[in-house]
Structure 1
Amino acid sequence: MSQGDWQHDALRELSQSGPAAEPSTPTSPPEQPEPPEDPPPGSSRMGAPVPASGPQAAGSRDPRLPIQTPESVPTVDPRLAGTLGRPLHGDSMARRARRSVRMLGSSVTREVAEGTRLAQEVQQPVTTGRVIAVTSIRGGVGKSTVTALLSRIFNHYRRDPVLALEADAALGTLPVRLGAESVRWSCSDLAQILSPSMQLTDVIGYLVPVADGGWLLPASQGHVGPPLDVRTYRTVTLALRRYFAVTVVDCETLPGEVARTAMDTAHARVVAAPMTAEGVNGTRVVLDWLAQLPHAALASTVVALTASSPDTTLDVRGASAYLRETGAAVVSIPYDRHLGGGGPILNAMLGRETREAATTLAAEAMRRAVQVR
């Protein structure tokens, strides 16, 4: 099947299912789906039978028993929602005014040309779904924020389906960052009901629509539960590659088992690292580990150096050069007031430098993901 046919069919199915922001949620899943067998690595193709192994394949659920539809749970407690302030623009009004004055002549031409080049990288066509895994060496360094930024950029530039998949069940913030008001079905729920006979219009009924486009599959319903296991992760990611051109995975932190599996099996990898000396040092250890994998993992790895403060003292140029010695690419994401405030990420509220950095990161990750066969 050609890439154009697949994208056309996918979009046609979406248009027939009604508005993308309001997919219908099935009250019951397909009856007794038969689990497919595991294929050789890399043999999955868009539209081919879905390779899977998971709770269903392992016989952990009796297919004769109905699946209980989970209750919808708000991502933020309604009692707390009223305390959230108005989102700040990433750039102050004074900074935006100064930039408007400087936007003259050749600088505008160069910026437009660079933006066009990056957009073309992000829009590269695919014939099989690409998986981009995002992880970090510890929590709180912007892993979910980077995942949300990538999802926003891909949805902005691409016309084919994009999925943000949360693979960190430990009270992850990805649903909040993508503006989801509530969540229902989780990765573990979906792993039990996925079937090769399901169409894209069936699958999106179990997902959360994202306001600016695309879909979200959360890891949990916002409470502390059992961690996502490797078998469930593989079942869901291998199956959903049929339906989505790009899947951005918010993994648990390293050295978690699912994170290591995701980094080993993804088409491209993004390591979120804090813009600190210890963060760079720890990330170098991760890159050295990736260099020991049996395939060329570093060639498809991008480090996202994230600033959590406007007063960063790290020599970013020197730190980036240190990380690039391994063969990985490095993209710096500057401090942004909009990102620092928490809550949903809105494209229009991002600072100019942040938006450009996020687009660069998406282009670097997509170029590497497409190179993997």
Structure 2
Amino acid sequence: MAPERNENEGENADNGVLATTDGTETTGIGIVEGATAQVEVTLPTAFDEEDDFDDDVVRGEDVTLVQLEQLPAERDEVRGEAPATTAVPVASVSAASAEPAPKASVSAAASAAAAKTAPAPKTAAAAQASSSVASTSATAPAASDASRAELDHHERVRPRTSEITLQSRRLGDFEVDRESSDLLTADRLLDPAHVVRPEPEGAWRHLVYTLSGRRINLGDSKRARARKQLEDRIAAPLSGGARFVPVLSRKGGVGKTTVTTLLGMALADAREDRIIAVDANPDRGTLAERVGRTSGKTVRDLVRARGDVHGFNDISQIVARDHTRLDVLASDADPHVSEAFSDADYRDVAEVAAHFYSVVLTDTGTGIVHSVMEATLEHADELVIVAGLSIDEARLASETLTWLESNGYAERVRSAVVVLNTSRPGAALVRADELDAHFRSRVRAVVRLPYDPHIASGSAISFRDLQPETRDAARELAAIVVEGLRASSVAA
């Protein structure tokens, strides 16, 4: 049965006020244009412990004009008759959005949502709170004292979602005005006008700096800046474990031991980690003699004592160290030793060296098919091939690359470095540019090592006594090797 209308239909024809609210609990309220309606909605005011008021309550001040516009126009049947439609006056919505309504009052849209979602009162003794929507007013008559107190209680208890902020903070971030110690950087605190610059490198630049009482600092020379850039490339960090770099040559006398020594000195002079050069020549190598400092121990002693090496102090008593901090492990020079240095011996040495050093250089013998060479290539992360500036020396170096490619080391050949060593003074008999072009077609880089009388003498090599061009070539070789090791670690 449809609800009866008020008798005074003429007076309230425009408002369409219903005479009773019996059917509003189950009737949806639609919104259409061209009509205005007032509906009395019964809301529960008494709650027991089983009512979930926090999930069902609709607050009038939370309903905005945008939300009202997004409410769907629902059409439900009212007791068998045509769907009842009502409309919320525009003036009422505007006023409600401009000025928040009291907590005990709800707008027509809130009443419609409450009629659909709020559960019916479970007891007949529950108080009723009425809220009517006026066409030009944003507030409704005040609810009863019991209803107001109950709503205020739930407003205090129910958490506001918009007020909850979850943030992940460090211990030092809880107070806004406090700063942690990592913010006290040199760039922030030091005044650039008073920062003491290091002494410039370069003859006349240092002279100007000294004559001006250290007040005029023109900075480093071009050569000094280039050297420091090279050192920065060499000192780049290497991730992972120890890296093995063997120096190969199929022909003796091309400077393989010299290249191993210069490469090790350039690495040790610029890097902070430990560098070792191992003489793995089974036929009496001379690597320790090029350093000039011997410990009297050889690789054979390390093989015998490998089980007793528990710290770096144990291995430091076996190796020799030069002024650049390069450690050298000499080969066995005793002519009475009947058993040559084998692949098993090299593996034992490599296992111990990998625990204490970042880069392990290996000065190999001339026999590429020797058993030690097999163990050396198994550990190799990068190869350095030495070639002399003669036809036969260049051919042997190129054939070495071919042999490596044919025996499963083609990838190592493509990332290898070839050193063209000038061991004789004067102009070379072959065209160095042609050799450079040939080897660049097969390997990653080519480095030319100039002639140096300090090296040609055959005595111990002092890195600081080398000619500047020789030191620069050694540093360039070291930088290229480090860059190759870093690239291989990224690829792996």
What are the Cα deviations for residues 350-373 of structure 1, in whole angstroms up to 9, with x where unaligned?
111111111111111222123334
Q: Read off the aligned partner of 1:289 and give its amino acid letter.
A: W
Aligned residue in 1 for 2:330: 218
Matches within 5 A, 1:1-373: 110-126=222-238, 127-180=240-293, 182-195=294-307, 198-221=310-333, 223=335, 225=337, 226-255=339-368, 256-294=370-408, 296-311=411-426, 312-373=428-489
C-alpha spacing 1:138/1:201, structure 2 compared with 1 (3 Å): same
1:130·1:370 contact (CA, 8 Å) conserved in 2?
no
2:282·2:331 contact (CA, 8 Å) conserved in 1?
yes
Q: Read off the aligned partner of 1:364 and give its amino acid letter.
A: I
Q: CA RMSD in A?
A: 2.5
Aligned residue in 2 for 1:7: none
Per the TM alignment, residue 211 of structure 1 is displaced from its structure 2 partner at its CA by 3.6
Aligned residue in 2 for 1:68: none
Unaligned runs of 5+ in 1: 1-98, 102-107
Query: Helix, strand or coil for the counterpart of 1:242?
Result: helix
Q: Read off the aligned partner of 2:256 and give its amino acid letter.
A: K
Q: Read off the aligned partner of 1:330 and give its amino acid letter.
A: V
Per the TM alignment, residue 343 of structure 1 is displaced from its structure 2 partner at its CA by 0.8
Q: Read off the aligned partner of 1:292 and give its amino acid letter.
A: S
Q: Read off the aligned partner of 1:318 and give its amino acid letter.
A: E
Greater alpha carbon shift after TM alignment, 197-206 vs 239-248: 197-206
What are the Cα deviations for residues 188-218 of structure 1, in whole angstroms up to 9, with x where unaligned?
3212322497112222122223243132211
Unaligned runs of 5+ in 2: 1-201, 205-219
Q: Read off the aligned partner of 2:247 and give its amino acid letter.
A: V
Cα distance in structure 2, aligned partners of 1:195 and 1:261? 20
Q: Read off the aligned partner of 2:400 and give its amino acid letter.
A: V
Greater alpha carbon shift after TM alignment, 329-338 vs 163-172: 163-172
Per the TM alignment, residue 222 of structure 1 is displaced from its structure 2 partner at its CA by 5.2
Cα distance in structure 1, aligned partners of 2:362 and 2:418? 15
1:190·1:206 contact (CA, 8 Å) conserved in 2?
yes
Per the TM alignment, residue 110 of structure 1 is displaced from its structure 2 partner at its CA by 4.5
C-alpha spacing 1:190/1:197, structure 2 compared with 1 (3 Å): closer
Structure 1 residue ranges, 4+ long, deviating more than 4 angstroms after superposition: none
What are the Cα deviations for residues 327-361 of structure 1, in whole angstroms up to 9, with x where unaligned?
34211101111000111101121111111111111
Greater relative contact order, per chain length (Cα 8 Å cut-off, separation 6+) = 1
Per the TM alignment, residue 280 of structure 1 is displaced from its structure 2 partner at its CA by 1.1
2:449·2:470 contact (CA, 8 Å) conserved in 1?
yes
Cα distance in structure 1, aligned partners of 2:305 and 2:383? 28
2:301·2:318 contact (CA, 8 Å) conserved in 1?
no
Greater alpha carbon shift after TM alignment, 304-313 vs 191-200: 191-200
C-alpha spacing 1:337/1:201, structure 2 compared with 1 (3 Å): same
C-alpha spacing 1:109/1:211, structure 2 compared with 1 (3 Å): closer
2:295·2:317 contact (CA, 8 Å) conserved in 1?
no
C-alpha spacing 1:118/1:224, structure 2 compared with 1 (3 Å): farther
Aligned residue in 2 for 1:63: none
What is the TM-score when the length of structure 2 is the normalising length?
A: 0.51
Cα distance in structure 1, aligned partners of 2:488 and 2:354? 15
Cα distance in structure 1, aligned partners of 2:360 and 2:458? 23
Cα distance in structure 1, aligned partners of 2:308 and 2:279? 22
What is the TM-score when the length of structure 1 is the normalising length?
A: 0.67
What is the count of residue pairs matched by the alignment?
270
C-alpha spacing 1:220/1:338, structure 2 compared with 1 (3 Å): same
2:251·2:396 contact (CA, 8 Å) conserved in 1?
no
Query: Helix, strand or coil for the counterpart of 2:325?
Result: coil
